Structure 1
Amino acid sequence: MTQSNAPKRIAVIGGGMTGLAAAHELVTSGNNVKVTVFESGDRAGGVIQTVRKDEFLIEGAADNFITTSPVAVKLCHQLGLGDQLVGTTPGREGAMVMRRGKLEPIPAGFTVMAPSRIWPILASKILSPWGKLRSGVEYFLPRRREVEDESLKAFVCRRFGREMFDRLVQPLVGGIYTADPDRLSVAATMPRFMEMEKQYGSLIRGMLRERKARPKATANSRGARYSMFMTLNGGMSRLVDALVSSLPEGTLRLNSPVTDIVRDGVHWSLQVDDGKQPWEQFDSVIVAAPAGPASQLLSKVDVDAADEIAEIPYASCAVVSLAYKLDQVGEPLNSYGFVVPIAEDHFILSCSFSSLKYPGRAPEDSVLMRVFIGGACQSGLLRMPDSELMELAHWELCKTLRISGDPLMRHIKRQVHAMPQYHVGHNQRVQKIRDRLAAFPTLTVAGSAYGGVGVPSCIESGKRAAQQILAATEAPTDVWELRDPPVSRTDESSHSELRDETKRELIVH
């Protein structure tokens, strides 16, 4: 079959980290493609945004990325940012956790959900004697026979008891997902620990064995393993800017929301609300938008996939940045920040000492702190106006850190419906979505809605989507053809009406 020499046109919907990573993978692949990234807003990067205010460098969302997955570090090197990578400032004690209003160090070797060392847990003031005894019983408990997903809370309480969950696991995991632990899927968020239970019968036993295999890496960890986190000199927006600069001129189109996707033979027609031609045709499409917009866009492609995507919920939070002179702070700042259990009945989720984690964020005589408010369990607080949220954050820090006087600087960034919530059954839902969309080899979805909320996960999701599309786009059209997906809960007549409506849309436009 004769192939045209014209480049294959690929649309990427969404200019966040996932969409930009997908576009970068496409344009650097060496394939004959022409990529267009449609971003509905006036800037790229999604939730990632670095701003300078006075003498302070402020991150509105992620301020770093984990390096256990090499994908983000590798991308930085590919973009010429290797010499701008910055690790956490050494010499601090990791994270703290609030206990009866006071901050206590997270036991050394405790990694998110389980300890790899016994003595630090026994010596810790975070758990009561009964809580320590109950958590130690985990070593002897039998593994769960059922293979079904369960909530994070149910999993931890079953293995370690309620106190370990309330005082250690919930605040640490809550700082990552801002989620309701009663609904959060352990299979989707912490699969490593589910596998550990299956393999070793006990998380403590599994952690101890892993520690023997990797003594240095595990023994020095406390809570979130900050030694494994990195950022960029000048902030995370530098990664966004470098990705945009790596794309050919005209690839990124800002203020260009896509409002509809319809099939047009073996091609895809996109309706773009940017004041230009209303419909544009592409050979392939990557939908890297959040679940809500993605569901709407796919409603005429596959209604069942669209319905499943629509069921992925999101949470919101506010990130309040406050700066103080170091001599305003009465408590010693020996850590990178602290997390707050829901059981403490406070109004903040966590606080990160940004300028102590990474250099170049504040003058040397000052400290920049980021306070997180809201999430799935305290969403009502976000009804407060910005001024009251900033005052609430300041009041909480004054109590906890014995701060005197007013902040040198205040800044707030609301992340509205920004954190996908992986409820129990999330993995099965994502598999259903993938199965439905498998009928369309030249269309796929990507992003944090489906698996992994961190920067590396978004990059990996974008890269995988690009590779999938390249494989389908470069294949001869007689190898595959767009076909109707299998009919499931939507009856055949509804599918016929939907196809007829799609045809009418193409004729009208």
Structure 2
Amino acid sequence: MRDETGGAGVDVAIIGGGISGLAAANRLREVALGLSTVVLEAGPRAGGVLGTIRRDGFLVEQSADSFITNVPYAIDLCRRLGLGDRLISTDPNHRRSFVVRRGRLEPIPDGLVIMAPSKVGPMVATRILSVFGKLRLAMERVLPRGSGADESLASFARRRFGRETYNRLIQPLVGGMYTGDPERLSVKATMPRFLDMEQQHGSLIKAMRAAAKADGAKNEGSGARYGLFVGLEGGTSELVDALAGRVPVRADAKVERLERDGEGWRLIVNGEPMAARSVVIATPPKAAAGLLRDIDSEAAGLIGGIPSTSSAIVSLGYRRDRIAHPLDGFGFVVPFVERRDILSGSFSSVKFAGRAPEGSALIRVFMGGAKRPELVDADDAELVRIASSELASLLGTRGEPDLAVVSRWRGAMPQYEVGHLDRIATITDRIAAIPGLEVAGNWLAGVGVPMCVKSGEDAANRVAARRAEPAERV
């Protein structure tokens, strides 16, 4: 297939080589062998934020280091790619995490699943909450249910459990997932399970106990939840490399413009024209909005209005004997009320084997997000200084780290604010009315790796359904 200006053409052009775009291309390879496909990635490599660095015996993930298995899309993809035997589970001996309380790491109560406690004893015994905070939390069982309308995560959590439980437990757990501000995040878009619990049972505590009884189990422990996460033995780059090895990817290929061309599309890629019968836009929202501005201005405005946060990850390696804390968990989160310079810390070499040399530990420190966006613009030395200082205070680390790797991600985490689902419904309807166009990405229906895979594969399935017959090539 060629366009009239002589530019090479394809059946399907996928704009964006992150995990969503790669998953879309791979799915087309599986279900529509007759369609020619190319992934156009503006950056120097495929994978988007996913990537792994090996240095001095350490294995450093640049963003996500795992994915959950009860959402099956990522693990199913790994198995189809022949990576099933490369999947590794988290260490079963340390499946817990901590929260910072007045400068000390306190264990998150066992049985607390984000904001729904399933065990009474650990909530009573925890030193994270005051007596008043515990009494207010216990009242959740008798509070009336809400209307079921969308509201912020912060509003929902305070309404059910009170201000102290929100500030000390729920905010750091929720905020760490989205590097965002729960005052703006939509409970219906981010954690609809808890809204459903309230509507069905009138209480999240009652819902958790009913679920445990129905499952024939005593309780749903938080430790068991950590067991649902898996990683890849060689890091997430194994997934990226497996996908990129199967599908055609053009790196350093910036799509500058997208426009209608008869029944197909004309793309300007690095100043050169390319024709395509179908297009999948799998970029961050602002880039997608720019490409759609002349095609559907309303959809472009809605997509471009999705806010995103930026973050930095500082990965530090230490000799184990220079860390006072036993590192007997997977990491810690930091409440906003602690007024520290970091959001959380992950004990990478405790979670997964093979992340640090024998006798060493690898810790990833997260900073930036909605509350401290300016930190992302600090230079590497300053970010390493901040991270090292915080770990010295919280974990008792001594001396300079043996390894320091800084990763920055600007505008990489979309924020599902109140009204997000209505926004996405309108976008989806408008895109569906444009023949030969699909969208995919973490701004649609989930930010984790599994939902990004699903987004890309769903887009590919729709393309294949529309284009059951391969294009005629000349």
Asked if TM exceeds 0.5, the reply is yes
CA contact (8 A) 1:97 1:168 kept: yes
* Cα offset, 1:218, TM superposition: 5.4
Identity across matched positions, percent:
49
Q: Distance in 2 between matches of 1:385 and 1:476?
A: 50
Cα offsets for 1:468-502 (capped at 9, x unmatched):
1111222899xxxxxxxxxxxxxxxxxxxxxxxxx
Deviation string, structure 1 residues 24-73 (Cα, Å, up to 9, x no partner):
00011144211111000110000011011111110110011111111111
CA drift of 1:383 comes to: 3.3
Bigger RCO of structures 1 and 2 (CA < 8 A, at least 6 apart): 2
Question: Counterpart amino acid of 2:264?
Answer: H
1:256 counterpart = 2:253: yes
Q: Structure 1: which amino acid aligns with 2:460? A: A
Deviation string, structure 1 residues 120-139 (Cα, Å, up to 9, x no partner): 11111111111111111111
Structure 1 residues 217 and 39, CA gap change in structure 2 (3 angstroms): farther
Classify 1:381/1:215 alpha carbon distance in 2 versus 1 (closer, same or farther; 3 Å). farther
Distance in 1 (CA, whole Å) between partners of 2:71 and 2:369 is 26
2:66 is the counterpart of 1:69: no
Deviations 1:131-168 (A, max 9, x none): 111111111111112x4311110000011101111111
The aligned counterpart of 1:25 is: 27
Q: Is the 8 A contact 2:119 2:219 kept in 1?
A: no
Amino acid at match of 1:97: V
CA–CA distance in structure 2, aligned partners of residues 379 and 30 of structure 1: 43
Distance, in Å, in 1 between the alignment partners of 2:456 and 2:253 is 20
Q: Is the 8 A contact 2:34 2:470 kept in 1?
A: no
Aligned-partner Cα distance in 2 for 1:218–1:283 = 53
3-state DSSP of counterpart to 1:322: strand
Is 1:444 equivalent to 2:447 in the alignment? no
**Counterpart residue number, 2:172:** 171
Of 395, 403, 427, the residue aligned with 1:401 is 395
> Highest CA radius of gyration, 1 or 2?
1
Describe the SS at the equivalent of 1:283. strand
Equivalent residue runs for 1:72-111 within 5 Å = 72-111=74-113
**Counterpart pick for 1:115 among 110, 117, 126:** 117
- How do 1:204-215 residues align onto structure 2 when only pairs under 5 Å count? 204-214=205-215
Q: Distance in 2 between matches of 1:93 and 1:296?
A: 43
Task: Provide, for residues 255-298 of structure 1, a one-character-per-residue CA deviation record: whole Å limited to 9, x for no partner.
Answer: 1111111112211111111x6xx221111111001001100001
Task: Give the corresponding residue for 2:141.
Answer: 139
451 and 402 in structure 1: CA distance in 2 versus 1, 3 angstrom threshold: same
Q: CA separation of 1:348/1:466 partners in 2, compared to 1, >3 Å: closer, same or farther?
A: same
Residue 241 of structure 1 corresponds to which residue in structure 2? 241
> Pick from 274, 282, 289: which aligns with 1:288?
282
Using the alignment, how far apart are the partners of 2:215 and 2:58 within structure 1? 38
CA distance in 1 between partners of 2:218 and 2:395 (Å): 30
Q: 1:272 aligned to 2:272?
A: no
CA contact (8 A) 1:441 1:469 kept: no
CA contact (8 A) 1:298 1:305 kept: yes
Give the structure-1-normalised TM-score.
0.88
1:11/1:282 contact within 8 Å kept = yes
Cα distance, 1:219 vs structure 2? 2.8
SS in 2 for 1:419: strand
> Which whole-Å CA distance do the structure 2 matches of 1:143 and 1:346 have between them?
35
The TM-score with structure 2 as length reference comes to 0.95
| Contact kept in structure 2, 1:320 and 1:372, CA below 8 Å | yes
The one of 10, 13, 20 aligned to 1:11: 13
How far 1:193 sits from its partner (Å)?
0.6
In structure 1, what is the Cα distance between the partners aligned to 2:227 and 2:41?
A: 34
CA contact (8 A) 2:95 2:226 kept: no
Q: Tell me the distance in 1 between the aligned counterparts of 2:41 and 2:318.
A: 37
Report the Cα offset of residue 220 of structure 1. Answer: 3.0
Query: What is residue 227 of structure 1 aligned with on the other side?
Result: 227
